[in-house]
Structure 1
Amino acid sequence: MTTLRSVSLIGVPTDIGAGERGASMGPEALRVADLTKALRSHGVDVVDRGNLSGPPNPWLPPVDGYRHLSEVVAWNQVTHDAIYAELKAGRMPIMLGGDHCLGIGSVSAVARHCRDTGKKLRILWLDAHADFNTSKLTPSGNVHGMPVACLCGFGPQELIEIGGQVPAISPKWVRQIGIRSVDAGEKRFVHEQDLEVFDMRYIDEMGMRHTMELALATLDANTHLHVSFDVDFLDPSIAPGVGTTVPGGPTYREAHLCMEMIANTGYMGSLDIVELNPALDLQNRTAKVSVDLIESLFGKSTLMRK
């Protein structure tokens, strides 16, 4: 186990890659839900770096299969630079999104840091969606459905080369958990690229404990564990404040077990929290649940056994 770390919160207030407005308010909702105080209660040194800035959302239709490509590139570039700077300074970055297209900037920065330091990388993608669309496969052109594909080198040049190496990651480093909504063409592509997906049927059959044991298998002290937490991973009954709700997600207890098992490894080195949309929420409930789960990632446990 590593010692409790120095954490930097980085707000990225944009819904540039989403199909619904409002994720731009996510960072503030997490702050209102007292994320900083919650982390400090677990002995974590927290610095809130405030919000990054980038172009406004023009809310236009897709061009050549992508919506708002130049704006998406701009936001991901500033995200990459901010996350990379924190890692270089020996701090753990927590990206407060924003929509999930920002995973491109965030994960490419983490991958770059791992190349610098000779570390292996494992990415846990907690999500209802595989996010493995391309301009040819996407029904919408929304880039928040494409980050994993872009990170694996399938996407527009400007996006796939942000971290300085194409592809930024190998599909072998990714474990997707909670998946339950995948487009038909995207499903074929996921199989072709051999992504490791623990979908909801797998979790139903095998349980969250077995799922997480496999997802976390073979980690060691030379592995950087990155967690990309899309709030739509959760069942909408506990987390209604997202633009892309899909029924049948992990329950409150399953989600906590997932987070506690990640915490137990001691290897988490960076975190994204994305797709929180306060405009669709009920009294900031989804932000509060998210903060609660993030506490479990930092060692809060109901464990009463000796």
Structure 2
Amino acid sequence: MPSTSTYTNGTNGHTDGHVVPTKQAPQSSLPPTSSVPQKFLSNPKELGITLVGFSGGQAKPGTDAGPTVLTDAGLLTQLSDDLGYTLRGDDTVRDFNNLSSERFKSNDPPVRGMKNPRSVSAVTEQISELVYTQAREGRLALTLGGDHSIAIGTVSGVARAIRERYPDREHNKIAVIWVDAHADINTPETSDSGNIHGMPVSFLTGLATSNEPGIFDWLRDEHRISIHKLVYIGLRDVDMGEKRILRENGIKAFSMHDIDRHGIGKVMDSALEYIGSETPIHLSFDVDALDPMWAPSTGTPVRGGLTLREGDFICEAVAETGQCVGVDLVEVNPQLVEGGVGDTVRAGVSLVRCALGDTLL
């Protein structure tokens, strides 16, 4: 029988991992919906939820409401009741927009071209701690955003937790599969827009650094990922500076051209072979990786993207490895393309379910 859970109300509706489940199934290496043993989760029947309402990494309001429309659509209930997970962490969305505006007000001028640098840095540092708190308990860390700048926090939190949980392991660095229309690997100097949602990978890999007090100076080696364990899937709108970075650093990237030529099955086989079978995986999925016909309500849609089935297949393939330790779903913006919000939310729900082991049969 699937386990169900209730939340104990903490401050502002957040439980920070102290949820009291109504039923607790015996722990094993299997998540509730899968027969695949989990290699890196000591509590595979639990999900550590972080709900991030934040849009400060880019210019269009509305991504802060992404987690709300996903949870209003019943996603958390489905994860508990349909898929059988015990949910830990957030049951309401954290309003990071409000927290950052109260702290910085208008005193957050650009630095090296970056917009809202102090705000985004402070928010992602908090997110990193929240996600780390979940991941260190050996549960999969699921984060719903929010714009893609929040991945500076989500990925760094998981990376730190894995390093601590496997201090003597030869391969204790996580791999990241970044599913996106965009590479998000601009440095502040290569970015045309200054929007930090186009820079998270550069800060996570150390290709971009900052010594400015309060501007990503909290990132340490324990938070960072290797460019040799980074894989892109679905790229189709890459800036010239980003192309240079990808080529010069030999970063593994599968564009839509590769998917058209080889098919999503072979692309995923190649991606997972490159990562290897003994490496924890963090899946960071920007909903704009999907073609706008499937997910129109997002800030930077680009035609010619993944079908929903291709997106679901990516998530299914990662789940089938038994190596997944973290999942992000970001850039759902219900204030854009009003008639397409339902399609976008349904796509987002499907992607998350597949990443957590839901299957067609």
Which shows bigger deviation, 19-28 or 202-211? Answer: 19-28
Equivalent position of 1:35 in the other structure: 75
Distance 2:105 2:37 in 1: 43
Residue segments in structure 2 that go unaligned for 5+ positions in a row: 1-35, 39-43, 167-171
- Shift in CA distance, 192/58, structure 1 to aligned 2, threshold 3 Å: farther
Instruction: Give 1:148-163 correspondences, 5 Å limit.
Output: 148-153=201-206, 154-157=208-211, 160-163=216-219
Distance 1:245 1:33 in 2: 22
TM-score normalized by the length of structure 1: 0.92
Instruction: Give 1:43-82 correspondences, 5 Å limit.
Output: 43-49=84-90, 50-52=92-94, 53=96, 54-56=99-101, 62-82=110-130
Distance 2:147 2:297 in 1: 13
Deviations 1:252-304 (A, max 9, x none): 2211221211121121111111111111142432122110121111222224x
Which shows bigger deviation, 135-144 or 56-65? Answer: 56-65
Deviations 1:119-153 (A, max 9, x none): 23111101000001011111110000000011111
- Over the residues paired in the alignment, what is the CA RMSD in angstroms? 2.0
Deviations 1:78-121 (A, max 9, x none): 10000011112222221111111111111111111122123231
2:323 pairs, out of 267, 270, 289, with 267
Equivalent position of 2:262 in the other structure: 206
Distance 1:271 1:31 in 2: 16
The answer to whether the 8 Å contact 2:53/2:67 transfers is yes
Equivalent position of 1:130 in the other structure: 183
Equivalent position of 1:233 in the other structure: 289
TM-score normalized by the length of structure 2: 0.79
Equivalent position of 1:219 in the other structure: 276
Compute the displacement of 1:69 (Å): 0.4
The answer to whether the 8 Å contact 1:240/1:286 transfers is yes
Work out the number of aligned pairs and report it: 302
Equivalent position of 2:300 in the other structure: 244
Compute the displacement of 1:164 (Å): 2.6
- Shift in CA distance, 58/239, structure 1 to aligned 2, threshold 3 Å: farther
Distance 1:5 1:25 in 2: 28
Alignment identity in percent?
35
Equivalent position of 2:133 in the other structure: 85
Distance 1:22 1:103 in 2: 17
Equivalent position of 2:16 in the other structure: none
Distance 1:47 1:113 in 2: 16
Greater RCO structure (CA 8 Å; 6+ sep): 1
Alignment partner of 1:172: what SS?
Answer: helix
Distance 1:163 1:61 in 2: 21
Compute the displacement of 1:192 (Å): 1.0
Larger-gyration structure (1/2): 2
Distance 1:224 1:279 in 2: 35
The answer to whether the 8 Å contact 1:243/1:275 transfers is yes
Residue segments in structure 1 that go unaligned for 5+ positions in a row: none
Distance 1:100 1:172 in 2: 21
Distance 2:56 2:259 in 1: 32
Deviations 1:180-204 (A, max 9, x none): 0011122111111211100100110
- The amino acid that maps onto 1:286 is T
